[in-house]
Amino acid sequence: MAHPPDEIIPLFPTPFMRCPGLIPKGLVDGLVAHFSGMALQDNNASANLSHTQMLKPTDSPLLVDVAGLVTPKLGEFGALLFGERMAWAIKEMWVNVLDQGGRQAMHNHANSFISGVLYLTPTHNSSRTVFMKSPGGHDFSFKNDHEGVVTGPYNAEKWISPMPQAGDMALFPSFLMHAVPPNEGERRISLAFNAIPARLDSWGYVVKFSG
């Protein structure tokens, strides 16, 4: 008698949401023209990376339009994280300008639940966003790492996101570590943001957040 086939079950996967072409070209061009010259804050990790100050959607009609397109997607993604559709708000936004040779060090985003990136210019293959496992935690102390190893979702330490186009958006849980390798191409401009839900309810213990 034949046995049922073996089954591999992916426990507790991490969601990553791609939204190709979410931001129309006219809005992308307006964001680049308005905010690229305002990215005057240096980044400690790289001399060729700069940022704007933290922004709210209400700071510009352009950002109001962005928020109107992004917020429904936050509801969809949030339902994956928390099992319920609820109201979400963008907490803060900022524009990154990454010139040739610039990079973004590994980091995650504190005090938020969903983080996202809107790509506003073409991205060189070298500077696609890379996501990685947290450097501490639950891995075995020994590794099997040599030229014959086949890398898959259960043993990989990093994942390189697909090549984005201008107007694309990516959403991911804010705890997820990520980085941008050195940019070997033209100037790369993106708009990053963090988002929070209106509230979380754990059997009557309710925590409310304000954006």
Query: pLDDT tens digit string along 6-51?
Result: 999 999 999 999 999 999 999 999 999 999 999 999 998 899 999 9
- Are the C-beta atoms of residues 102 and 48 closer than 8 Å to each other? yes
Domain membership flag for residue 96: yes
Domain membership flag for residue 10: no
Q: What residues contact 175, with CB distance under 8 A and at least 6 apart?
A: 108, 134
Domain membership flag for residue 9: no
Calculate mean pLDDT across residues 112-132: 97
Domain tally for the chain?
1
Phi, psi of 90 (to 5 degrees): -75, 125
Per-residue model confidence (pLDDT) at position 206: 96
Confidence of residue 136 (pLDDT cuts 50, 70, 90): low
Distance of CA 101 to the CA centre of its chain: 21
Residue 30 belongs to a domain with what CATH number?
2.60.120.620
Per-residue model confidence (pLDDT) at position 139: 58
Phi, psi of 92 (to 5 degrees): -160, 155
Question: 89: domain range?
Answer: 17-135+155-198
Domain membership flag for residue 206: no
Domain membership flag for residue 5: no
Domain membership flag for residue 207: no
Is the pLDDT at 111 greater than 70? The verdict is yes
Query: How far from each other are the two terminal CA atoms of the chain, in whole angstroms?
Result: 61
Query: The sheet that has 46-51: what strands, in order across it?
Result: 17-19, 169-173, 114-119, 188-197, 88-98, 46-51, 41-43
How much is the pTM?
A: 0.94
Domain membership flag for residue 6: no
Domain membership flag for residue 32: yes
